Structure 1
Amino acid sequence: MSYLLTPLGVSVLALLRERPMHGYEMFQTLTTRRDARIVKVRPGSLYHVVARLAEENLIRSTVTGRDGNRPERTIFEITQSGIDALTSGVRDLVATPVNEFPRFVAGLAELDNLDRDSAVAAVRSRVAALEAELADMVTGRESGATPAMYLTVLDYLTATTRTKLDWLRDFADTLESGGVGWRDAASRADEVVL
């Protein structure tokens, strides 16, 4: 297979392994399950992935119909090739580490382009945002609203978020106290040689 199965493609195949669905239903199901924490889901990207999976014969349309005044909708189901691709894709995603180049790491690498106070404020702002995300995850876990199959994912995300928070809080304190060597943008301007 020449098509590289994306994480969103894996999610779509997994949905269709549960039962046949139309595109909007897939989007609503992913949104309801809060899969935005797992994969980036936008209607346009979802429909593009669905078209590509159909092109690759990993899914197929079964019925096209209209429900009342709603637009015509095509129901898709997974094929045996899709099931094979899904199991292979999940195995690869879990077993093979990939450097995904997170935006935060790029910002952290260039943090000394800010003055120290701005850098501390940015890190503390990130801490506050992650604390809010963590609270939301804990609430979701405790509410019983999270489908059982996603509890492992939620537990993983909660654990990694807690670890990130611990590191970020320590880093912000060390940065603020001057424990991190610092060359901010203003001092670099003095070093520029023309």
Structure 2
Amino acid sequence: MNSGLSAAELTLLGLLVEQPRHGYELEGVINERGMREWTEIGFSSIYYLLTKLRERGLITQTDASQPGSGKGRKVYAATAEGRRACAIAAEEAIAELHPLFPRVLVGLANQPAIDHGRLLDALGRRSDALAERIEHVRRAASEEQHVPEFVRAIFDHTLSQLSAEQVWLAQYRASLDDAHLPGRETPMAPYDVKREQKELYAPKNRAWAIVDVPEQQFIGIDGTGNPNTSPAYAGAVEALYTVAYTLKFAGKRTTGADFVVAPLEGLWWSDQPDAFVTRAKDAWNWTMLISMPSRITKEMIEDAKQTALAKKKLPEISRLRHLTLHEGPSAQVLHIGPYDDETLVLDELHHTYLDANGLRPTGRHHEIYLNQPRKTAPEKLKTILRQPVEHLVQ
């Protein structure tokens, strides 16, 4: 259900749901809570918006006399229908992502028309304005010591948005300065394991073939159970991506070195020999992995874990560990289709391909998931299947 309320109308209606107020009271609360940082409500438009809300039956208007003056002042209050409309519109606003169209993006789209010096000057003025705005919001937040928690959350959200743009702007200005320094090389593209190791992360062979897998480092979490239903599996995957992106953004902030977060991988095994053939998924053991660039150290991973834990409070993050794998010669194939259809491909590996080539398995079954299953039709899923092997002794 669409409430049809504008942001300004919803803001005023919400203040009247809290309690009846007259126009000057509304203006005072708007200023106290810093509401003009996130919605446009001019003082002159308050009564216009109140009239619209009253015409829709969302608020009522009464005249209240001021003590000692005999003068009446219009007091506005939300109706029952107004309270319902406010709840619906607030829920929509919280749950739905709405596109933002800041003018800075229009300016950046036309950046080639601006002289380089004037561009840097314009970005500098924006940086100064951002710093001033951040200070203003912080001061307003500090002055309101006894506001409700939701008002505190609004201040925090506003500051986080402004601070994020401040970081972006500083990095962008630095990149423009660097690009014009004599002899400065073009910045390197972010490290991407799919580009750097195409044979291992972007194979095209639909039949089993041998590849040589060098030593790699990963972040990983161990677990047991059905990946489709196990809360531990879902928590492990969320924890891996949380730490991976924490490492990515930390590198960009501190050294400027960036990387593309690698696809999810998994090592699979079971104490029951036929667990994978029968798809007895509750008996599956797994180590879920994300590949890391070689420059990422154990200390950086531990720091990222602590940062991620402080932000998300996800207990699985504490179980994340650093590990290295050197699988060496491995049979590998690109499988396209549902995960459950892997059974036939793996049966071919273990009962035809290995015997025909004098090979035997030496490590755990390894899979690399090139798609997000929630966003990809089962028949289009791409999975790299890998099995470390060695030649049988003659």
Report the CA distance between 1:44 and its aligned residue: 2.4
Question: TM-score, normalized by length of structure 2?
Answer: 0.42
Query: What does residue 157 of structure 1 align with?
Result: 158
* Cα separation, 1, equivalents of 2:133 and 2:71: 36
Residues 115-138 of structure 1 show CA distances to partners (whole Å, capped at 9, x for unaligned) of 011111111111111112222333
Shift in CA distance, 92/2, structure 1 to aligned 2, threshold 3 Å:
closer
Name whichever structure is richer in strand by fraction. Answer: 2
Counterpart position of 1:186: none
Residue of structure 1 equivalent to 2:56: 56
Q: Which amino acid aligns with 1:31?
A: N
Question: 1:173: which partner in 2?
Answer: 174
1:51 CA drift (Å): 0.2
Structure 1 residue 67 displacement after superposition: 6.0
Aligned partner of residue 177 in structure 1, secondary structure: helix
Q: Cα gap change, 1:20/1:142 in structure 2, threshold over 3 Å: closer, same or farther?
A: closer
Which structure has more relative contact order (CA 8 Å, sep 6+)? It is 1
Question: Partner of 2:121 in structure 1?
Answer: 121
**1:142 shift after superposition:** 3.7
Q: How does 1:12-27 map to 2 (within 5 A)?
A: 12-27=12-27
Cα distance, 1:146–1:121 mapped onto 2, change above 3 Å: farther
Partner Cα separation in structure 2 for residue 102 and residue 110 of structure 1: 14
Q: Aligned-pair distance for 1:2?
A: 8.7
Partner of 2:60, secondary structure, is strand
Q: Identity of aligned pairs, percent?
A: 22
Task: Pick the structure with more helix per residue.
Answer: 1
Task: Note the 1:1-194 alignment, pairs <5 A.
Answer: 4-65=4-65, 72-145=72-145, 147-148=147-148, 149-178=150-179
Q: 1:86 to 1:56 in 2, by over 3 A?
A: same
Please tell me the residue identity of whatever aligns with 1:86: C
- In the TM superposition, what whole-angstrom CA distance separates every residue of 1:23-78 from its partner, at most 9, and x where no partner exists? 22212221222211121121222111100000000001133545666974211110
Query: Would you say the 8 A contact 1:130–1:161 is kept in 2?
Result: yes
Please tell me the residue identity of whatever aligns with 1:162: S
TM-score by length of 1: 0.82
> How many pairs align?
180
Cα distance in 1, alignment partners of residues 99 and 109 from structure 2: 15
* Contact 1:123/1:168 (<8 A) preserved: yes
Alpha carbons 2:32, 2:140 under 8 Å: kept: no
Post-superposition shift, 1:161? 1.3
- Unpaired stretches in structure 2, ≥5 consecutive residues: 181-185, 187-394
Letter in 1 for 2:152: L
Cα 1:85/1:150, change in 2 over 3 Å: same
- Alpha-carbon RMSD across the aligned residues, in angstroms, is 2.4
Q: Which runs of 5+ in 1 are unaligned?
A: 182-194
**Partner amino acid, structure 1, of 2:166:** L
Amino acid paired to 1:89 = A
- Give the conservation status (yes or no) of the 8 Å contact 2:65–2:72: yes
